[in-house]
Amino acid sequence: MRFLIRPLNALMMSSYTRIRNPGTDERFPISLESSYSRIARFFGILVFIFIIMFNSIFLYRQTFSRSLLIANSTLGFSHIYVIISKPERAEYVKPVLKYHNLDYEVFHAYTKDSDIVNTTVSELWAKGQALDARNIWGLVGCWASHRAVWMDALEKRYTSFLVLEDDIDVHVDLRRIIQAGWNNLPTPWDMYIPGPCYPGFVEGWTAGPLKKLSHMACTHGYGIHARIVTKILEWSAEQPAIGIDLQIMTGPVHGGLLEAYAIDPSVIIQRPLDTQHPSAIGTNVDVKDEAPAEDDWRPNYLFPKEASTAEKLSLAYWY
Ligand SMILES: *[C@@H]1O[C@H](CO)[C@@H](O)[C@H](O)[C@H]1NC(C)=O
Ligand SMILES: *[C@@H]1O[C@H](CO)[C@@H](O)[C@H](O)[C@H]1NC(C)=O
């Protein structure tokens, strides 16, 4: 009790004695000076403890809580589409997505058997275009499929959506890194790309795992904000003899028409081609490969082994 009573006494007496007879106090043998310093020390320590606690909580929140947050089952987008070009690819990509407990909608790609691809290719040929493009059915199938997804997203009024293709591998820490991207994503944004290829970045612009894009290609993993859906539909309205990524990303991003941000290094990659596993950009195409496997760009974007979901699940390549 003494340790409580003495400071209390001293508190009461100090105001009393100061009025009555500042400096001395005959009734209490306790030295005022030492009581003052005890109180000061007591409160000093208290304040110190509070400051330390407050600071640690603040620092903890700053440093860890962001990385502890995890994106939801649609990775923070309103919706996820997965474009499946071949049934056997689904067998490969589904376990990858399941590992991360993602909710997504499968969109079956248009193949050369579909009317839209057949008609479009015939039209291109009639115009004398793309006669020598060996993978023209693939390009047209890709164009028709991605556009159909955007039209669906427009109709459903999704605020944002992520489009994935079926030959992807994703980082084992996908949800956490995508969330860290969201935490740093400026508004307004047009494209949030977890898996760009051939990226070029705006110098000096970095925020968490994000960089601002000045250039990019590839459609295997990209997020779109609703505000640009009609634009990308317009930009791609005319069927090209080139990839759809060139129409809606490479050109517009390079031209500064879009606010596009990417996670760098990528957290969604396309598995590399090899001679047994050629590109399926040509959905259902007889043509085996569009480029020799050794010239393929994809090996440059591979994950370290421990970061690959496919490795973790010991997934065979597609068959
Ligand atoms: C995930 O979060 C986004 C953004 O808040 C939201 O639009 C979406 O509906 C959520 N997905 C699920 C499955 O709750
Ligand atoms: C489109 O389909 C028709 C009939 O099925 C076929 O004769 C034609 O060769 C196809 N056109 C192309 C460009 O594949």
Give per-residue pLDDT as tens, 83-137: 998 888 888 899 999 999 999 999 999 988 899 988 988 888 888 776 666 678 8
Q: Cβ of 172: how many Cβ atoms within 10 Å?
A: 20
Instruction: Provide the pLDDT for residue 64.
Output: 53
**pLDDT more than 70, % of the chain:** 72
Query: Is 203 buried (19+), middle (13-18) or exposed (0-12) by CB count in 10 A?
Result: exposed
Ligand 2 binding pocket, CB closer than 6 Å: 118, 121-122
Per-residue confidence band for 50, with pLDDT thresholds at 50, 70 and 90:
confident
Atom 5 of ligand 1: nearest residue by CA position:
76
The closest-lying atom of ligand 1 relative to the alpha carbon of residue 103 is 13
Instruction: Provide the pLDDT for residue 136.
Output: 80
User: Which tens digits make up the pLDDT trace of 231-272?
Assistant: 999 988 887 667 788 888 888 888 888 999 999 999 999 876
Instruction: Provide the pLDDT for residue 27.
Output: 53
Cβ 73 under 6 angstroms from ligand 1: yes
Instruction: Provide the pLDDT for residue 16.
Output: 45
Q: Taking residues 9-23, what's their average pLDDT?
A: 49
Instruction: Provide the pLDDT for residue 55.
Output: 72
Per-residue confidence band for 38, with pLDDT thresholds at 50, 70 and 90:
confident
Question: Residue 39 pLDDT > 80, yes or no?
Answer: no
The closest-lying atom of ligand 2 relative to the alpha carbon of residue 122 is 13
Query: What mean pLDDT, rounded, does the chain reach?
Result: 80
Atom 1 of ligand 2: nearest residue by CA position:
118
Atom 3 of ligand 2: nearest residue by CA position:
118
Atom 6 of ligand 1: nearest residue by CA position:
78
Per-residue confidence band for 62, with pLDDT thresholds at 50, 70 and 90:
low
Q: Taking residues 139-144, what's their average pLDDT?
A: 88
Instruction: Provide the pLDDT for residue 53.
Output: 78
Half-sphere exposure in the Cβ direction for 154 (13 Å, CA): 14
User: Which tens digits make up the pLDDT trace of 186-235?
Assistant: 999 999 999 888 889 999 999 999 999 998 888 899 999 999 999 999 98
The Cα 160–Cα 78 span in angstroms is 5
Query: Is 287 buried (19+), middle (13-18) or exposed (0-12) by CB count in 10 A?
Result: middle
Which phi and psi (to 5°) does residue 220 adopt? -85, -15
Question: Residue 158 pLDDT > 90, yes or no?
Answer: yes
Better-scored residue on pLDDT, 138 or 110:
110
The β-bridge relationship of strands 105-108 and 79-84 is parallel
Cβ 76 under 6 angstroms from ligand 1: yes
Helix runs in the chain, H state only: 2-20, 32-60, 66-68, 87-99, 115-126, 136-156, 174-184, 229-235, 244-245, 251-254, 309-312
CATH 3.90.550 fits 79-312, yes or no: yes
The Cα 262–Cα 211 span in angstroms is 5
- pTM (whole model) above 0.85: no
Domain regions of the chain by residue span: 2-68, 79-312
Better-scored residue on pLDDT, 136 or 79:
79
Q: Taking residues 128-152, what's their average pLDDT?
A: 83
Token pair listed for 300: 């440059």
Torsion sign (Cα): 244, 302, 312, 72: negative
Cβ 72 under 6 angstroms from ligand 1: yes
Question: Residue 283 pLDDT > 70, yes or no?
Answer: no
Given a contact cutoff of 8 angstroms between Cβ atoms, the answer to whether 74 and 156 are in contact is no
Smallest-distance ligand from the CA of 131: 2
Cα distances (angstroms) measured from residue 264 to each of 70, 197, 210, 268, 302: 18, 10, 6, 10, 13
Torsion sign (Cα): 92, 94, 95, 99: positive
Ligand 2, residues 122, 125, 136: which to mutate, most atoms within 8 A of Cβ? 122
